[in-house]
Amino acid sequence: MNRWSFACTACGLSYPASRRFPRCDSCGEPLQVVYRGQGRIRDGNILDQKILERYGDFFPFPVPDRNLSLGEGFTPLVRAGKVLNRLGLDRLYFKNETMNPTWSFKDRGTVAGIQYAVDTGCDVIGTVSSGNMAVSVAAYGARAGLKTIVLVSAAIAPEKVAPVAIHGPVLIKVECDYGELYFESLRIGKERGIHFINSDAPFRVEGSKTIAFEICEQLRLNSPDWVVVPTSAGGNLRGIMKGFEEFYDAGLVSGKPRFVAVQAAGCAPICRAFQEGAERIEAVDHPDTLAHAIANPYPPSGNEILRRIRATGGTVIAVTDDDMIAAQGELAGEGIFAQPEGAASLAAVKTLVREGRIRREETVVSVVTGGGLKYGAAFQHHRFDVLECALPALEGCLSSIL
Ligand SMILES: [Zn+2]
């Protein structure tokens, strides 16, 4: 690999690239990749280009293996329609991450994590997840031909098992506290040489940078004023923040956005700490929300999100399950089928506009993190209008609604 290192996100302590454990020995906070490349967007046609190629100057990979890719990234930035008018905003965009190969943003970090595993000679990968990340790592692990271990909570809903199991990983249901499983997986991974690409693993965070890169390109090398991101462990938002910083440092954009971390009201440890002025998050004892994908009771990058949001003038807010379901319906009205957690960002935008914190003339990007098909349990919260009739009555039925 090219010359690079890790650094602690909190105390700045430096670690060599050969480091396996992704957290700081001194303060316990997550590490991040430190690498300075040429800072250029590489020429090429995105119909035949991978994200790790186009933005290769921002990653320490010598030559990305394009066979590891399933065509992740390069997702649409969709200008809001009816919602735009309802909110009275000039520019609101949806970064539609449901368009990724396994229908969520996770694929970006998964491909970066697997590229790192391959470059460092690691042939067993794993993850701790109960949803999008499990599906993503299972799919990409199968693609790469690596032994793939997926650890899920024993309480996983039956509908979530098949989309992971179909790819043939070693799938283990673990009776546990989910927060502890994250740390235990890192310990075992270090001992056994398993590269766990967990929620805020350094190279997973690196992959998420490409969301920021693409948004800048899609806005013709401009930075938006606000970027709103559903936030659980904190890895994705950290990556998006790092991406905007790196494009700014490279002189590709002249401004930086402010960020909104969105949590579920029934499990909002980062939001609570932010509002209380605390420096560290505290675990939520009993998460109570339908938004399981953003219900991490003890986000491993929570403290770093607090630090970064405060340093950049952003905010953290919590939205209710009802708000998310309503936003899911509104997004569907725009043609985008998100899971409720993916619609949390739109729910947050509505709140911030109502409170006057986002102003009409500002450019807002709402990141829609994952697709709705994998989460059938949310459908019961909607009321769908379905008409029925016999064939002879069809024309009469249609005429009644025309
Ligand atoms: Zn540290």
DSSP string computed for 59-86: S--SS--GGG--------EEEPSHHHHH
Cα of 9 vs centre of ligand 1, distance in Å, is: 7
Measured in angstroms, how far is the CA atom of residue 39 from the centroid of ligand 1?
A: 27
Q: 3-class DSSP state for residue 109?
A: helix
23 Cα: distance to centroid of ligand 1 (angstroms):
8
Instruction: Tell me, in angstroms, the distance from the centre of ligand 1 to residue 349's CA.
Output: 33
Q: Tell me how far the alpha carbon of residue 234 lies from the centroid of ligand 1, in angstroms.
A: 17
Residues sharing a CB contact under 8 Å with residue 39, sequence separation 6 or more, in sequence order: 57, 58, 246, 249, 250, 251, 252
Task: Tell me what pLDDT residue 218 has.
Answer: 98
pLDDT of residue 240: 98
DSSP string, 328-393: HHHHHHTT--B-TTTTHHHHHHHHHHHTTSS-TTSEEEEEE-BBSTT-GGGGGGS--------GGG
Beta strands in 97-236 (DSSP E): 124-128, 147-153, 170-174, 195-196, 226-230
How many Cβ atoms are within 10 Å of 200's Cβ, its own excluded?
30
Interval between CA 13 and ligand 1 midpoint (Å): 6
Query: How many whole angstroms from 209 Cα to the centroid of ligand 1?
Result: 22
d(CA 185, CA 115): 20
Structure confidence at residue 180 (pLDDT)? 87
CA of 132 from ligand 1 middle (Å) equals: 29
* Residue-level pLDDT, tens digit, the chain, 402 residues: 668 999 999 999 999 999 989 999 999 999 999 999 899 999 999 999 999 999 999 999 999 999 999 999 999 999 999 999 999 999 999 999 999 999 999 999 999 999 999 999 999 999 999 789 999 999 999 999 999 999 998 888 888 899 999 999 999 999 988 788 999 999 999 999 999 999 999 999 999 999 999 999 999 999 999 999 999 999 999 999 999 999 999 999 999 999 999 999 999 999 999 999 999 999 999 999 999 999 999 999 999 999 999 999 999 999 999 999 999 999 999 999 999 999 999 999 999 999 999 999 999 999 999 999 988 888 999 999 999 999 999 999 999 898
Separation of CA 30 and ligand 1 centre (Å) = 8
State in Å: Cα 26 to ligand 1 middle.
5
| Distance from residue 257's CA to the centre of ligand 1 (Å) | 26
Q: Ligand 1: distance of its center to the CA of 242 in Å?
A: 18
Instruction: Measure 71 CA to ligand 1 centroid, in angstroms.
Output: 35
pLDDT value for 396: 95
C-alpha of residue 7 to centroid of ligand 1, in Å = 8
Rounded to the nearest angstrom, the distance between the alpha carbon of 231 and the centre of ligand 1 is: 22
Cβ count near 76 (within 10 Å): 15
Distance between Cα 29 and ligand 1 center (Å): 6
Residue 98 is predicted with a pLDDT of 98
> Distance, CA 307 to ligand 1 centroid (Å)?
13
CA of 11 to the centre of ligand 1 (A): 4
In this predicted structure, what is the pLDDT of residue 173?
A: 95
* Residue 22 Cα to ligand 1 middle (Å): 11
What does the pLDDT read at residue 153? 87
How remote is the CA of residue 207 from the centroid of ligand 1, in Å?
22
Whole-number Å distance, alpha carbon 181 to ligand 1 midpoint, is 21
262 phi and psi angles, rounded to 5 deg:
-110, 125
Alpha-carbon span 251 to 42, nearest angstrom:
15
pTM of the predicted model as reported, rounded to 2 decimal places:
0.97
Ligand 1 centroid, distance to 31 Cα (angstroms): 8
The DSSP secondary-structure symbol of 157 reads -
SS3 100: coil
Residue 188 identity (one-letter amino acid): I
- Residue 231 token pair: 């936030």
